[in-house]
Amino acid sequence: MQLYGIVLAAGQGKRMKSKLYKVLHPVCGKPMVGHVLDVLDAVQVDRKVVIVGHGAEAVQAYLGNRAEFALQAEQLGTGHAVAMAKPQLGEEDGITVVICGDTPLIRPDSLEAMIGLHREQGAAATLMSADLDVPRGYGRIVRSGQGDVERIVEQKDCTAEEDAIREINAGTYVFDNRKLFAALEKVTNHNAQNEYYFTDVIGILRAQGEKVLAYCTSDPSEWIGVNDRVALSEAEKYMRERINQEHMRNGVTVIDPANTYIEKEVRIGADTVLYPGTVLRGNTVIGQDCMVGPNSEIADSTIGDGVEIKHSVLAEATVGDNCTVGPFAYLRPGAKLAGNVKIGDFVEIKNSFLDEGVKVSHLSYIGDATVGKNVNVGCGSITVNYDGFNKHKTVIGDDAFVGSNVNLIAPVTIGKGAFLVAGSTITNDVPDNDVAIARERQTNKAGYAEKLRNRFKTQKENKKST
């Protein structure tokens, strides 16, 4: 039997008070609607229709070919929104999941269990519910004396008795597809909001004698719908807890989970240790037996096994096995380190390849360069790669030695085994095994220091007298 999905993503999200369309606000690095589509993919939904309205172009641009789209040009309620999918799905046989685009915390296991219950019982509709101590703001589930779901009453339409009900509608549903669209034809806007409530479908199906079930989730986070920045922070907290726990169960040590921030797509090998303040973003992959942090940020980077990264920032970088990075290093996009490379404090690497055994221990900049095996780069040395108009490349051969405070004016090539004397400004290529010295010869003027001090003293006294 075909499985379909309808994602409600047409609301404006005024309470977010943001220029960014609501369902595109990220939770742990991914827009909320992206999390929802991931869940539908995980349960193998065959066709997905996203209902768009405000910000339609932005949502479509983000999701691309992951879904079909239907436009809700007028915001006439959730029932009206679901009905917008009728041209695509109205005549299909199968089961349809209806889910909100601002509910990023739904678990695939829960949705799969709902679908399984729905199929086993031959229900017309199955909804997700939750028991809340303070259900304020949520639609209440009204059951019959036998415990069947009779209807859902929105908060603003509740009687005093209905307002006291603790079981709330979590906003995710499974339907027989044809019965869903037939019931939608009977939904009216005779309510306090003058809107077409999607939840009225439940009462319509019950009035027709159809079976309506409820799947009550035990996870207190799954029902959270994000309507403002407070709820967004709550969703972020719950998602982060899930992600951190999953990594810990897979063999990663997280010293302080409350202060470790890992986005959804990050992959980490066993026996890696994450210290407090670590932020791992995007499509980052970290190998086994690594040590990361404290206070390091890594985005869209690939880290090998046995790597140590301390107090550093990496973006779109590649780090080979058994490297050390930091403290206070910056690996910018295109930085590629082979194995056993040492990057020390206040070192910046950009768009450069550093081969096995390279050491850049402190206070240096390597940009647009290829550095051979076992090269040592001294303190304060830089590749001068930009002439104000274009970037130029520096090539340093294997086993070369770059002394402290050497400027390599690109384009320039340094041969294998070459030795660049400290303080030199290198403007020409250096052949293999040559020593290059490019600095002014030192001159010592005997006794001249005393003359300088006397001159400065006289100038200072003259200023005071005037």
* 35 annotated active-site: no
Is 102 part of any known ligand binding site?
Answer: yes
Distance CA 153, CA 131 (A): 15
pLDDT along the chain (466 residues), means of 10: 95 88 95 97 97 92 97 92 96 96 95 95 93 81 81 84 87 96 93 85 92 88 90 96 97 98 97 98 98 97 98 98 98 98 98 98 97 98 95 98 98 98 97 95 89 89 80
CA distances from 9 to 60, 81, 396 (A): 11, 9, 54
**What is the SS3 assignment for the chain?**
CCEEEEEEECCCCHHHCCCCCHHHCEECCEEHHHHHHHHHHHCCCCEEEEEEECEHHHHHHHHHHHCEEEECCCCCCHHHHHHCCHHHHCCCCCEEEEEECCCCCCCHHHHHHHHHHHHHHCCCEEEEEEECCCCCCCCEEEECCCCCEEEEECHHHCCHHHHCCCEEEEEEEEEEHHHHHHHHCCCCCCCCCCCCCCCHHHHHHHHCCCCEEEEECCCCCCCCCCCCHHHHHHHHHHHHHHHHHHHHHCCCEECCHHHCEECCCCEECCCCEECCCCEEECCCEECCCCEECCCCEEECCEECCCCEECCCEEECCEECCCCEECCCCEECCCCEECCCCEEEECCEEECCEECCCCEEEECCEEECEEECCCCEECCCCEEECECCCCECCEEECCCCEECCCCEEECCEEECCCCEECCCCEECCCECCCCEECCCCCCCCCCCHHHHHHHHHHHHHHHHHHC
Task: Tell me: do 279 and 209 sit in the same domain.
Answer: no
Is 256 in contact with 238 (CB distance < 8 Å)?
Answer: no
* Same domain for 280 and 208: no
Residue-level pLDDT at 60: 96
Query: Is residue 454 included in any domain, yes or no?
Result: no
Question: Residue 146 has what pLDDT?
Answer: 73
| HEC profile of 362-395 | ECCEEECEEECCCCEECCCCEEECECCCCECCEE
The answer on whether 139 is annotated among ligand-binding residues is yes
- Write the CATH number for 293: 2.160.10.10
Task: Determine if residue 154 is labeled as part of a ligand binding site.
Answer: yes
Q: What pLDDT was estimated at residue 142? A: 87
10 is in an annotated binding site: yes
Do 208 and 65 sit in the same domain of this protein?
Answer: yes
- Give the number of other CB atoms < 10 A from CB of residue 425: 13
Which of 216, 241, 268 is where one domain is finished? 216
Q: What is the pLDDT of residue 37?
A: 98
What pLDDT score was predicted for residue 161? 85
Question: Pseudo-torsion of CA 209, 210, 216, 221, nearest 10°?
Answer: -120
- Cα separation, 245 vs 372, in Å, equals 41
For residues 24 and 86, state if they share a domain: yes
State whether 179 and 323 are in the same domain. no
Q: Is 185 exposed, middle or buried (0-12, 13-18, 19+ CB in 10 A)?
A: exposed
* Predicted local confidence at residue 160, as pLDDT: 85
Same domain, 104 and 155: yes
Say if residue 285 is in the same domain as residue 356.
yes
- Is 422 known as a binding-site position? yes
Instruction: Indicate whether 88 belongs to any domain.
Output: yes
- Looking at 157, 192, 216, the residue that finishes a domain is 216
Query: 317 and 417 share a domain?
Result: yes
Quick one: 212 and 254 in the same domain?
A: no
Is residue 291 located within the same domain as residue 376? Answer: yes
Q: Which of 25, 54, 362, 392 is catalytic?
A: 362
Our count of domains for the chain comes to: 2
Beta-bridge partner residues of 314: 298, 331
Within a domain: residue 240?
A: no
CA distances in angstroms from 415 to 330, 402, 418, 420, 428, listed in the order given: 27, 11, 6, 10, 11
| Cis amide prior to 327 (ω within 30 degrees) | yes
Range of the domain at 191: 3-216
Residue 379 included in any domain = yes
Domain assignment of residue 306, yes or no: yes
Does residue 446 lie within any of the structural domains?
no
CA distance 205 to 187: 11
State whether 205 and 254 are in the same domain. no
Question: Residue 188: which CATH number?
Answer: 3.90.550.10
Query: Is 334 flagged in the annotation as binding?
Result: no
- Strands 425-426 and 407-409 come out as parallel
Contact 106, 117 (CB under 8 A): no
> Does one domain contain both 183 and 291?
no
Q: What angle, rounded to 10 degrees, do the helices at 200-207 and 177-184 form?
A: 100
With CA atoms as reference, report the closest residue to 117 among 217, 5, 214, 210.
214
Residue 59 lies in a domain: yes
Is residue 222 situated within a structural domain? no
Q: Six-digit token pair at 377?
A: 């780069």
Give the distance from CA 163 to its chain's centroid. Answer: 38
Q: Is 11 marked as a binding-site residue?
A: yes
350 is in an annotated binding site: yes
